[in-house]
């Protein structure tokens, strides 16, 4: 192998790796497409009645993807319930979308009461969560959407409550 090849091959490889990571960093779904997918979604509530996410368009939405078998998901629900009460008059809506079916949601809803809507998303919930940035398939996963339908904050895992309050205060 020539001296030029020994230098050129690593340089090309490094360039390709850097280009790949730059592409991944800036290759995002356009905001309008994200908004369209978000507000096109509909999931059943505990009574199996379809709930369209469009009903909360124009509000700040805190969309929480969760499951009843997930301890961190259950842990953050009481805080979300308190924040829903605190910010409801400021046009903020919390919505929990379970990665389980209606039967599991119904059972959970009889055990745990929250003041915000809980919906059953099953596999479609995880598909929407992935589309909204959950490329790690982690639960809980929380997305804050502003009044214009733009994602302004996400959390993988349990939410930092002080950070969530700062975010909500800045949007209301």
Report in angstroms the alpha-carbon separations of 19 from 14, 22, 86, 135, 166.
Answer: 8, 5, 45, 20, 35
* Residue tagged active-site, from 41, 61, 70, 139: 70
How does the average pLDDT of the chain come out, rounded? 83
* Residue tagged active-site, from 53, 62, 63, 73: 73
Catalytic-residue membership of 70: yes
Is it true that the peptide bond before 140 is cis, omega within 30 degrees of 0?
Answer: yes
Predicted local confidence at residue 122, as pLDDT: 86
Does residue 86 register a pLDDT over 80? yes
pLDDT tens for 130-150 read 888 888 888 999 999 999 888
Segment 53-65 shows an average pLDDT of: 93
Segment 33-40 shows an average pLDDT of: 72
Report in angstroms the alpha-carbon separations of 146 from 59, 62, 149.
Answer: 7, 9, 5
| pLDDT more than 90, % of the chain | 49
How many C-beta atoms surround the C-beta of residue 67 within 10 A? 19
Catalytic-residue membership of 73: yes
Which tops the pLDDT comparison, 158 or 17? Answer: 158
* Planar angle of CA 62, 64, 97, nearest 5 degrees: 120
**Ordered structural domains, the chain, with CATH:** 30-171 (3.40.30.10)
């Amino acid at each position: 192998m020539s001296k030029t090849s020994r230098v050129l091959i690593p340089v090309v490889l490094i360039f390709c790796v850097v280009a790949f990571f730059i592409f991944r960093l800036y290759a995002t779904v356009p905001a309008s497409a994200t908004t369209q997918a978000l507000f096109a979604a509909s999931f059943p509530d505990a009574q199996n009645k379809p709930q369209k996410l469009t009903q909360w368009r124009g509000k700040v939405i805190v969309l929480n993807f969760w499951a009843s078998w997930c301890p961190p998901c259950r842990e953050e629900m009481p805080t979300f319930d308190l924040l829903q009460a605190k910010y409801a008059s400021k046009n903020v809506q919390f919505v929990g979308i379970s990665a389980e079916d209606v039967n599991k949601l119904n059972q959970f809803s009889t055990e745990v009461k929250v003041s915000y809507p809980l919906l059953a998303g099953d596999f479609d919930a995880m598909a929407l969560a992935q589309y909204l940035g959950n490329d790690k398939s982690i639960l809980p996963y929380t997305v804050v959407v502003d009044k214009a339908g733009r994602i302004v904050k996400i959390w993988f895992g349990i939410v930092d409550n002080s950070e969530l309050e700062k975010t909500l205060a800045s949007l209301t």
